[in-house]
Amino acid sequence: MSVNKNVLLVCSPYYQQISDNLIKGAIKVLKRKSVNYKFLYVPGALEIAPAIKLTYEKSKNNPIIDGYIALGCVIRGATYHFEIVSNESARALCDLSIKFSIPIGNGILTVENEKQALERSDPKKLNKGAGAAEACLSLMDIKNSDIYDKS
């Protein structure tokens, strides 16, 4: 991975400790691969995809961001809101990635409780922040590769 690659981490710090864990995991991967990164914080998981679209549109003619990492957490509550936020945030990220060929690593956790979120976000346990960073970098590599190279 080239040193000139730039990734934007779009984070919802609604659950601060969980978000901090996801960020730590993602940053470790980015530093190891010498990828530059910046942060953009939004209020909740539903705002992550629109924030990615807005920043993508701003830089479409002069790309400064090569990939995006979506980080946040949705914990099931007593209402239908969990399903809406979980489903729509994932759908929006997939739609953006496919429609505009944007490399996006999805690190938005959707869990039943805080214990699950802490385990999945912990860089020493399931480390889903690192997984989202790896996914983003993999998609960036695919986007920049020549799959028809005959060598």
Handedness of CA 102, 65, 34, 18 (dihedral sign): negative
Closest by CA to 127, choosing from 27, 29, 25, 9, is 25
What single-letter DSSP state applies at residue 110?
E
Mean pLDDT by 10 residues, the chain (151 residues): 80 97 98 97 98 92 90 94 96 98 98 98 97 98 80 57
| Cβ atoms of 74 and 18 closer than 8 Å | no
What residues are annotated to the active site?
81
Which CATH superfamily groups domain 6-144?
A: Lumazine/riboflavin synthase (3.40.50.960)
Structural domain spans, the chain: 6-144
Strands, E assignment, 1-151: 6-11, 36-41, 67-75, 104-111
What per-residue confidence (pLDDT) applies to 78? Answer: 87
- The structure's pTM equals 0.94
What per-residue confidence (pLDDT) applies to 25? Answer: 98
